[in-house]
Structure 1
Amino acid sequence: MRARTSSGLGLAVASAISFGLSGPFARALIDAGWSSAGAVLVRIGGAAVVLLVLLAVTRPGVLAALRADGPALVVYGVLAVAGVQVAFFNAIRYLPVSVALLLEYLGPVLVIAWVWLVRRTPPGRRTVVGGLVAIAGLLLVVQVWSGGALDPAGIAWGLAAAACQASYFLLADRATRTPPTVLAGVGMTIGTAVVAVLGLLGVLPVVVTTTTAEPVVLAGHDVGWPVAATLLVVVSTVVAYLTGVAAITRIGAARGSLVALLEVVASTVASWLLLGELPGPWQLAGGVLILAGIVLTRSGPTAVAADPPPVAEAVDRPVHRSDERAPG
């Protein structure tokens, strides 16, 4: 059990770091003329193609055996893939990005509340304390006090993003009969369809250009849009979702959602290294608190003691995220 928990935490950290890289990758494309929704569509659409090809090669015929988790897969694609993106990008229309990000990362609190109130399985004391410490660190990282007046519509969209983010952890925790690649691949396909339809309806402005006037810059070098887009698809989506769902099946939704707060730290460091956006002292202090909170959850008992053991190994943000931070 200890080895399983350790491997789960390792996967959760890898997932958080991969998601955290999505902000700089997407930002490079956005600064070159792409819209945030365009980056989202390419991200999840490209990931869907990669995962479906992987399924066709490694698990031919597996899609025919999805009846058991079929409804959960649809909800996962709509909420955990597309919903996070739509809600977050609508939130930043009304709120500073830092405030919208803070609201979205109330997701772990919703996960713990759901597990406690609905599943009747209270989290361990150290999980609760670790969660509070990590959320305090998140407050420092996003520097919520620097924003202006909060628009009620923005708050509503931000809370919707938090609910969708919570659904990512809870649905992945329960879809134990579905292999990781199937859950991520089908979820991405459904999410892509939802975002594409919203783009066609004009709800999300989708702009993707391959002839940008501005360079696509990462770490001071013009890497070109194909490199940035490939990194966004493969590293920050395929790898991030597969490792994330695999982690949740090992350590549970509550603890997994808290470790995911490390994404904010990873995004801050990646923005510094790849975009030259230096973190301030408050962000560094917040990062230390987030790491301390994760260590507390690691040293305590399993966050959700009554979570049933997974019947199958299973393995997704929200696209993150940047101002247009793309979830991730």
Structure 2
Amino acid sequence: MRKPGVLAAGAAAVTVLLWASAFVAIRHVGTEFSAGALSLGRLLVGSVLLGVFVFTRPRRWPTRADWKLLLVCGLLWFGVYNLALNAAERHLDAGTTAMLVNIGPLVIALLAGILLQEGFPRQLVIGSIVAFAGVVVIGLSSSHGGAETWGVVLCLVAAVAYACGVVAQKPLLARLPALEVTWLSCVIGTVACLPFGPALVREVGDARVSTVWWVVFLGAFPTAIAFTTWAYALARTTAGRMGATTYLVPPIAILLGWLLLGESPAPLAYAGGALCLVGVAISRYRTAAAKPAVNVASPDSNPLSKS
């Protein structure tokens, strides 16, 4: 009886590790690929591999009404999120980026209070203030070896785009399998990034073979495989418990960034990141105690997201 629980925990661990590694891989690949070309390359690989999974099982195609939400999910979550994240990591180290993007669950709670009429409990307000203070602290950290203001802004754009995608996908998951929603959203994001096709072709020709393989890694592992392991684990536990695992992403990203890239956030950015995560934890307290209304996992720890 314990085997399914062990397998689910293992799948969740794989997902967290792969999404944390994505922050480091994007930082590395960003030296040879522009933000748009990297987004298109990753999404192309992810779309193909996810499509293989989708077409090997029975499918339930979306209705006409579903496509509106799918467009929001695909354009914002896979399109804008990836572009903003890739651009942000040209200014910020992987660890700082991971800490900033992980305010996404808090943004989801705020949007749910407005769009889904869930209200604004005291914990949400307090958590928002604490997390915003963390963003300010990171923004004030030194630009040399630390955070640049433009990078912070791009991370916030990525977090908001991800949050909008989560709110849009919530009703979709009640009618469609998570894998199909993920694949269709990924395809929509790929189509939106097609204008970067010429840049991708040019940069693939100029890049080192090892860097091109890192792009393939981003599409195959943090996108296709991690989405699958997340969906497997989510089907066997609660969304709140799975969402809590996303707090492991920033420290793992910081560790991998230090080991593989020899970089780490500025000391002041650590304090700001801690405030951001504490703010998210405070805002989630009531959600965990009361009825969960939305999946508040982070962008790199959700079956429909990408890093």
- TM-score > 0.5 by shorter chain: yes
Tell me if structure 1 keeps the 8 A contact 2:35–2:83.
Answer: no
Asked whether the equivalents of residues 128 and 279 of structure 2 are also in contact (C-alpha less than 8 Å), the reply is yes
**Please, which of 128, 142, 145 is the counterpart of residue 146 of structure 1?**
142
Aligned to 2:218: 232
- Pair 1:267-2:253 in alignment: yes
Cα–Cα, structure 1 residues 245 and 276, in superposed 2: closer, same or farther, change >3 Å?
A: same
**Cα shift at 1:192:** 0.8
Maintained 8 Å contact 1:116/1:123:
yes
Contact in 2 for aligned 1:76/1:168 (Cα 8 Å): yes
The structure 1 residue matched to 2:108, chosen from 89, 106, 111, is 111
Q: How many percent identity over aligned positions?
A: 23
Deviations 1:281-316 (CA, angstroms, capped at 9, x unpaired): 44555565566566667775526626389xxxx944
Greater share of helix residues, 1 or 2?
2
8 A Cα contact 2:79 2:189, kept in partner: yes
Aligned residue for 2:105, secondary structure, equals helix
Question: Where does residue 276 of structure 1 map in the other structure?
Answer: 262
- Amino acid paired to 1:35: S
Inter-partner Cα distance in structure 1 for 2:186 and 2:164: 15
Match of 2:23, as an amino acid? G
The count of residues paired between Structure 1 and Structure 2 equals 291
Change (3 A) 1:167 1:65: closer
Structure 2: how far apart are the matches of 1:290 and 1:155?
13
**Residue type of the alignment partner of 1:30:** G
CA deviations over 1:45-81 (Å, ceiling 9, x no partner): 101101101111123xx15455563322222111110
Q: Do 1:134 and 1:290's aligned partners in 2 also have CA atoms closer than 8 Å?
A: yes
Query: What is the TM-score of this pair, normalised by structure 1?
Result: 0.66
Q: Choose the corresponding residue for 2:71, options 71, 74, 89.
A: 74
Distance, in Å, in 1 between the alignment partners of 2:233 and 2:163 is 15
Pairwise CA RMSD: 4.7
Instruction: Report Cα offsets for 1:251-296 as digits up to 9, x if no partner.
Output: 66x9987864654333222211222224554455556556656666
1:179 to 173, 177, 180: 177
Residue 163 to residue 285, structure 1, CA distance change in 2 (3 Å): closer
| Structure 1 residues not aligned, in runs of 5+ | 1-6, 217-223, 320-327
Structure 1 residues 240 and 58, CA gap change in structure 2 (3 angstroms): same
Of the three residues 186, 189, 210, the one matched with 2:187 is 189
Structure 1 residue 29, shift from structure 2 partner:
2.9
C-alpha displacement at 1:116, in angstroms?
1.6
User: 1:248, 1:131 → 2: CA distance?
Assistant: 26
2:35 is matched with: 36
